[in-house]
Chain A
Amino acid sequence: MPDVLIRGGRVINPANKTDAVLDVLVEDGKVKMVKKDISVKSADVIDASGLIVCPGLIDMHVHLREPGREDEETIASGTRAAVKGGFTAVACMPNTDPVVDNASVIELILERAQNEGVAHVLPVGAITKGLKGEELSEMGELIRVGAVAFSDDGNSVMNAEVMRRALEYSVMLDALIIVHAEDMNLSGRGQMNEGFYSTLLGLKGVPVAAEEIMIARDMILAEMIEARVHITHVSTAGSVRLIRQAKERGVRVTCEATPHHLVLTEALLESYDTNYKVNPPLRTEVDVLALREGLKEGTIDAIASDHAPHALHEKEREFDYAPFGIVGLETTLPLMLTELVESGELSYTQLIEKLSCNPARILGLEAGSLSVGSPANVTVFDPKVKVKVDVSSFESKSRNSPLSGWELIGMAKYVLVDGKLVLRDGRVA
């Protein structure tokens, strides 16, 4: 593996408050040197002038579909999509077939990632066996073989008693519980946010209460147990308020929002385009503004794509019958640069915190930093290039993005994973 010299880029490393035009030298998979005008005899030199160099981005919520639905995504295609989008690591959710509720599935995922993956794959184990919300999975065993956190994502742990025991058990393991907050009696067969638009379109609604009630419940449990929880895909103004209040009380809670909930609203469903069908559903303008506010003030710690690939034939259906989900790995960075940084709502540093430093901290990873000696997971992106979203050019096996045709600003140009150049000039190696 040759040394890599990233020359002349604007290095933003929030870990040590660096923001300056510097060179970065990578040697033996580690950051060797970060300073002005490094000269080396032989190295793979990347001209990063005009580009931003930052710690590798981490998407803490993706669905890689392997094992079970390799027609929609595999670890190979999903990590290629990640790298294309500027991510060096992804945390994959356990709702595969079979479910990630035993050691052998984690071992399979890690082995595939080792052999075929181009980015780090961080498996999230199931809280309960079969995601059924009834019996706890062997969390200790799962951590031993490599689970980074636990979630029943896609389902909610509806029984408060089961959630209480899961949180208690996690304290012993110092494990993170990632909460998919949805009261499934309230959400029922809901297809979209409940309100004027669901009424107008005749689609069954999911009330904001379905999410907020579960967040409130789990804040109370986390407070009582002093457990660590992370709320995934927060989508409502009320949820942001509940989490803000919990943080103020000292509850050990973090949370993340998705790019689509930060940008899109329920009004787009007027077209009945199933690419807007997602869980939690797209909400109102008021919710979008509250999420952005939460992001700015720090209530929302991270941005994660909830990359959910689906086969074309499953999305090309009547709205009621189509599955929930949006692919996001390859659009998250450009969309967030366009919508949050270009608009002046976040600085580059803040965005890098939400996409790298904070996910690393929440998941307890040795990542999210470019400081000398750190593993060389590096993302280099062009913050100004104009790109048009072309779903047919996705590395992902699936195309279910509502952003097709959108004009965005910014894209990843180079990605190093443990010192290895896996994205070169926007192309996956």
Chain B
Amino acid sequence: MQLKSKDLLGIRELDGEEIELILDTAESFREISTRAVKKVPTLRGRTIVSLFLEPSTRTRVSFELAGKRLSADVVNISARASAVAKGECLKDTAKTIEAMNADLVVMRHSAAGAPHFLAKLIECGVINAGDGAHEHPTQALLDLFTIKERLGKIEGLQVVVIGDIAHSRVARSNILALTKLGARVTVVGPPTLIPMGIGEMGCEVSYDLDTVLGQADVVYALRIQLERQTETLFPSLREYAALFGLNEERAGRLKKNALIMHPGPMNRGIEITAEVADLPQSVVTDQVANGVAVRMAILYLLIGGGEGA
């Protein structure tokens, strides 16, 4: 079985079978990262352009490692260093990448839909590494992989996503991916951070963390952007932490095997306390490790194949 598109633009465009394929394939790649020689020749001679037009360290490094462990050549273009900073429009950047015969572009952009725009301009595949408040599909896939690894399944799980749903691409991709594989998702946060119509994406909405905590198999705390406070979306970080922060008292009321997740980087003391972040149920570092394997799987599935028999 193959992925249906040359691009990975969002979870929305994937069906359940494709998600399962990526997770299964990632299983094969996890072993490689544990070896002394963390490299296989699979994508030798392939060129991957990592086009990060919004600052990011984790995702960029994760993709770069994934590409290199598959022996692909990975070239980084970042906003500050590139012609984009000099006012080059994305269309020209796309044409330039095309002329360099890249096999795949991994793109991070602050504007929702930018990878879709790029994908229409160029022949080679595009992976969305996060676009505005829209989607971050590889993050959701690595989150699913981590949940499946720890809990053995996705279907039927109750997942609680806490925080700034309105501005979070991680939340959107996770809601879509989890519901596609049969999990039940509840988003929790102040109404100012819950976007209109989110329920139509197939999740429940709650404004009271304490009433939903007890049933959760997974609690997923989102990073709170500190500048939201000045946009009158909540009164203070102190009040946010009191109402929606994951602290020891709340962690104590979780089911015994419930997982605690966070996409990083964490604001310790705000959405999650240091004590909770370091609990054994916290799988934040697993998420990072699995990120490389999942991204290797995606690279392999997108450009490891070809036409013919």
Contacts and interface: CB of A to CB of B under 8 A. Distances in A.
Contacts, number: 73
B46 to A, nearest CB: 27
A196 B117 contact: no
Given A272-B117, A313-B89, 9 more contacts: A195-B196, A196-B196, A199-B172, A199-B195, A199-B197, A200-B12, A202-B134, A203-B112, A316-B89
A318 interface: yes
Nearest to A188: B231
Contact of B197 (A196, A203, A316): A196
Interface string A110-136: 000000000000000000000000000
Contact of A199 (B113, B116, B201): B201
A202 B133 contact: yes
Contacts of A198: 195-197
Contacts of A317: 89-91, 117
The 10 nearest A-B residue pairs measured at CB? A202-B134, A196-B197, A272-B113, A202-B133, A318-B111, A202-B112, A320-B111, A199-B195, A318-B114, A196-B200
Given A202-B169, A272-B113, A316 B196 contact: no
Nearest to A191: B112
A199 B135 CA distance: 11
A406 interface: no
Contacts of A194: 196
Interface residues of A, number: 22
27 contacts: A194-B196, A195-B196, A196-B197, A196-B201, A198-B195, A198-B196, A198-B197, A199-B166, A199-B200, A200-B172, A201-B113, A201-B134, A202-B112, A202-B113, A202-B132, A202-B133, A202-B134, A202-B172, A203-B132, A203-B134, A272-B112, A313-B89, A316-B91, A317-B89, A319-B111, A319-B112, A321-B111
Interface string B167-197: 0010010000000000000000000000111
Interface in B110-147: 110-114, 116-117, 131-135
B102 to A, nearest CB: 20
B176 to A, nearest CB: 9
Contacts of B111: 318-321
A207 B201 CA distance: 19
Nearest to B134: A202
Given A202-B112, A202-B134, A272-B113, A318 B196 contact: no
Contacts of B133: 202-204
Given A201-B134, A202-B131, A272-B116, A318 B197 contact: no
B198 interface: yes
A247 B131 CA distance: 45
B223 interface: no
A334 interface: no
B109 interface: yes
A205 interface: yes
Interface residues of B, number: 26
B161 to A, nearest CB: 14
B172 A318 contact: no
Contacts of B116: 271-272
Contact of B132 (A200, A205, A207, A320): A320
A179 B110 CA distance: 33
Given A272-B116, A313-B89, A199 B109 contact: no
Contacts of A197: 197
Q: Which of A197, A205, A271, A272 has most chain B Cβ within 10 Å? A: A272
B43 to A, nearest CB: 29
Interface in B94-117: 109-114, 116-117
Contacts of A205: 195-196
A271 to B, nearest CB: 8
A45 B117 CA distance: 51
Nearest to B114: A318
A318 B200 contact: no
A221 B283 CA distance: 59
Nearest to A318: B111
A201 B135 CA distance: 8
Contacts of B132: 202-203, 320
